[in-house]
């Protein structure tokens, strides 16, 4: 099961669409903003909780909110951090679209602002380059764009996938 956010570019060949649309997603820790169409893959479905669409897989939680102009905010956590889906969404603050910016305050208190003209992100008044060199950059998943390597971490274990291993 998974969620995928993709911009449908009708004038691009199917095999190039994801590459061409890459720049319309930004992430800070467990918070992500993207523009496009949200796809629910593998049978995952949401339910409305406190104004958010909440996806749950096992103990994993993902809260989703659609904003104007096909922007989507996704914030993840789990039932180890919150006793229920309702407690999770109660801790979230609704992001706002203000002109050409999305502004949000995250669960951990970080203040995030995204410039919609260039998808540049500012976190706690610190400007970060875009696109980020990281595809995933969180406690549980790390991957550099184009590296072909993804590392996943849990409390008990870790695993690294390298696409070179699958080509030989």
> Looking at the structure, do residues 159 and 81 belong to the same domain, yes or no?
no
Residue 25 confidence (pLDDT): 83
In a domain, 76, yes or no: yes
Which pLDDT value is given to residue 65? 96
What is the model's pLDDT at position 82? 96
pLDDT at residue number 46: 94
Q: How many domains does the chain have?
A: 2
CB 59 within 8 A of CB 77: no
Query: In whole angstroms, what separates CA 75 from the centre of its chain?
Result: 7
pTM: predicted TM-score of the whole model, two decimal places: 0.72
Question: Where is 104: in which H helix or E strand?
Answer: strand 101-105
Which residue has tokens 């199917």? Answer: 14
Q: Are residues 92 and 155 in the same domain?
A: no
- Cβ pair 148, 162 in contact under 8 A: yes
Could you tell me the mean pLDDT of each successive run of 10 residues in the chain, 168 residues long?
68 62 75 87 90 94 94 94 97 95 96 92 87 74 84 90 78
From 99, 124, 155, the end of a domain falls on: 99
Residue 115 falls within a domain, yes or no? no
pLDDT of residue 7: 66
Domain residue limits at 6: 2-99
Q: Hunting for tokens 């659609």 — which residue is that?
A: 66
Task: Specify the 3-state DSSP secondary structure of 24.
Answer: helix
Q: Which region holds residue 17: left if phi is over 0, alpha if psi is between -120 and 50, else beta? A: alpha
Straight-line distance from the first to the last Cα atom of the chain, in angstroms, rounded to the nearest whole number: 28
Which helix (H) or strand (E) segment is 59 a member of? none
Same domain, 162 and 95: no
Q: What is the DSSP string of 133-149?
A: SEEEESSSEEEETTS-E
Predicted confidence at residue 130, as pLDDT, reads 64
Compute how many other C-beta atoms are within 10 angstroms of the C-beta atom of residue 53.
Answer: 19
Residues 81 and 10 in one domain: yes
**pLDDT value, residue 39:** 81
**Cis omega before residue 159 (within 30°)?**
no
Query: Is 123 part of a structural domain of the chain?
Result: no
């Amino acid at each position: 099961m998974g969620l995928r956010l993709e911009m449908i570019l009708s004038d691009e060949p199917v095999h190039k669409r994801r590459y061409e649309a890459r720049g319309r997603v930004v992430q800070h820790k467990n918070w992500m903003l993207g523009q496009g169409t949200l796809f629910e893959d593998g049978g995952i479905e949401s339910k409305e909780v406190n104004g958010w669409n909440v996806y749950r897989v096992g103990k994993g939680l993902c809260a989703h909110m659609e904003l104007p102009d096909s922007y989507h905010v996704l914030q993840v956590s789990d039932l180890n951090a919150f006793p229920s889906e309702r407690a999770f969404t109660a801790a979230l603050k609704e992001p706002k679209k203000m002109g050409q910016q999305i502004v949000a305050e995250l669960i951990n208190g970080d203040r995030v602002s995204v410039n919609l003209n260039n998808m540049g992100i500012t976190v706690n008044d610190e400007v970060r380059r875009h696109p980020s060199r990281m595809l995933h950059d969180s406690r549980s998943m790390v991957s550099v764009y184009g590296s072909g390597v993804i590392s996943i971490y849990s409390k008990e274990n870790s695993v690294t996938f390298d696409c070179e291993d699958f080509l030989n």
